[in-house]
């Protein structure tokens, strides 16, 4: 069928067949379909949506437009598992979760991304570690997944090749915010990693990617429906992003906090609890535990024995970082020259915060990108960020600003003051895990 006829069908609200979708995506991948037609198709989907069968067909076709990783030749002794997050502020879950699950018998080939807008990027965090190579050759990647059980790297150009062109056109045609297109973009790349199971971490709240809690839930349900329809068992957790997940935000600062969890120096806090809950789901999905209690016991043992930390250090060394990183992280991680405490104007309790604004404050300090390709300052950010419900006064600041210059610190301090809502009464901290979404058949229904 001609591309314009496929566009016409979707424009008129008709259901596309799997073959029609495969034909159109093939045209995106081989450049036989023009940018204008791709933009028109994206707008037709944006306006009319897709049912579950269409969304599965779009996702699997994008997945199959490039290389699909195959791990069978390595004779791995455990399942190939992964987690993906929609992104947030202080979300350094991957650095703890990957090694932790690997220490429990999983194999985690985690393809991660860079910071986008107010959200931090896993690759940017890892590049705080001197020598860490986020773009290794394929042999190194596969060896680490086999031997260390985990490798966190950037996307190769051979995975889901149609998505790069499709997304770039969506970005300039105001069609990014379409659930079927978001799902196909996320899962097309993730499922190309040859996973046996996937756990999604979909954020909800003031620092989330989606604008409302209802939209976050809709996205989570669509991801679970489509991924399972595509043959990859998938569960989604709807987790809170109404405050910074770690107690800090900024690349090196977050890496440092992640290592305190891996080494057992800390075993509490929001980051720990969300990571532990996601890890339980991964162990259950991979058949590495037959109950939540068994999963928790296995996870706690892997942490207390040092096995999780050892997997992290093997990954770091295997990708070019220091072999003694955990023992000497203060020496290796960059540190900002200026650290300033920012106190509330009056004592009280943190009632709320604009988490997105805090993420943008880190970006403006230099910890993120204001334009594509910009250099990141890995040392800057916010530390010891006060939590919702916590008392703040002349002793307990709202946060510590880590900055490159006094002017940067002053600007960030003002942004922090504008971000926090302080009250005499103590607010109840938000629930960390709002819901767990498991597969339900929705064949033929719109998503």
Active-site residue list: 82-85, 122, 170, 185, 189-190
Which residue bears the tokens 């979300």?
Answer: 91
Q: Which one-letter DSSP state was computed for residue 209? A: S
Sheet holding 381-383: strands in order across?
Answer: 338-342, 399-403, 381-383
Q: What separation in angstroms does the CA of 329 have from each of 251, 305, 332, 358, 373? A: 13, 20, 5, 25, 27
Q: Are strands 150-154 and 197-204 parallel, antiparallel or unpaired?
A: unpaired
Question: Is the four-CA dihedral 97, 192, 437, 218 of positive or negative sign?
Answer: positive
Distance CA 96, CA 56 (A): 31
Distance CA 327, CA 265 (A): 12
- β-strand partners of 239: 203, 433
Q: Which one-letter DSSP state was computed for residue 72? A: G
The 3-state secondary structure of 146-205, one letter per residue: HHCCEEEEECCCCCCHHHHHHHHHHHHCCCCCCHHHHHHHHHHHHHCCCCCEEEEEEEEC
Closest CA to 152 of 90, 103, 82: 82
Element (H, E) at 357: helix 355-362
Distance CA 271, CA 277 (A): 10
Distance CA 215, CA 218 (A): 5
Q: What separation in angstroms does the CA of 120 have from each of 141, 191, 244, 376? A: 23, 22, 11, 11
């Amino acid at each position: 069928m001609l591309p314009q006829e496929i566009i016409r069908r979707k424009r008129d609200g008709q259901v596309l067949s799997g073959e029609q979708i495969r034909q159109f995506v093939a045209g995106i991948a081989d450049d036989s379909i023009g940018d204008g037609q791709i933009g028109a198709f994206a707008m037709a989907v944006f306006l009319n949506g897709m049912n579950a069968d269409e969304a599965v067909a779009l996702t699997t076709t994008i997945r199959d437009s490039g290389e699909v990783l195959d791990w069978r030749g390595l004779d791995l002794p455990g399942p190939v598992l992964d987690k993906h997050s929609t992104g947030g502020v202080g979300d350094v879950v991957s650095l703890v979760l990957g090694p932790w699950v690997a220490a429990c018998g999983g194999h985690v080939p985690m393809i991660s991304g860079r910071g986008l807008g107010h959200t931090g990027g896993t690759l940017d965090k890892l590049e705080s570690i001197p020598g860490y190579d986020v773009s290794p050759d394929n042999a190194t990647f596969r060896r680490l997944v086999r031997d260390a059980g985990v490798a966190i790297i950037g996307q190769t150009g051979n995975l889901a090749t149609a998505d790069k062109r499709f997304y770039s056109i969506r970005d300039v045609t105001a069609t990014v915010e379409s659930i079927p297109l978001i799902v196909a973009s996320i899962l097309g790349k993730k499922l190309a990693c040859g996973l046996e199971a996937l756990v999604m971490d979909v954020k909800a709240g003031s620092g989330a990617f989606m604008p409302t809690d209802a939209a976050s839930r809709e996205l989570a349900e669509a991801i679970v429906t489509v991924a399972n329809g595509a043959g990859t068992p998938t569960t989604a957790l709807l987790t809170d992003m109404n405050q910074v997940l770690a107690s800090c935000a900024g690349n090196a600062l977050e890496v440092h906090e992640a290592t305190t969890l891996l080494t057992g120096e800390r075993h509490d806090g929001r980051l720990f609890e969300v990571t532990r809950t996601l890890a339980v789901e991964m162990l259950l999905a991979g058949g590495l535990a037959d109950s939540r209690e068994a999963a928790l016991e296995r996870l706690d043992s892997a942490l207390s024995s040092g096995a999780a930390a050892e997997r992290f250090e093997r990954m770091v060394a295997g990708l070019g970082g220091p072999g003694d990183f955990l023992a000497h992280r203060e020496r290796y991680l960059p540190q900002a020259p200026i650290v300033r405490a920012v106190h509330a104007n009056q004592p009280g309790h943190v009632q709320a915060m604009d988490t997105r604004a805090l993420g943008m404050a880190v970006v403006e300090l230099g910890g993120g990108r204001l334009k594509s390709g910009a250099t990141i300052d890995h040392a800057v950010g916010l530390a010891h960020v006060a939590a919702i419900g916590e008392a703040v006064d002349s002793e307990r600041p709202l946060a510590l600003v880590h900055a490159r210059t006094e002017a940067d610190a002053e600007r960030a301090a003002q942004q922090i003051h504008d971000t926090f809502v302080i009250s005499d009464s103590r607010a109840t901290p938000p629930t960390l895990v709002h819901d767990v979404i498991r597969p339900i058949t929705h064949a033929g229904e719109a998503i």
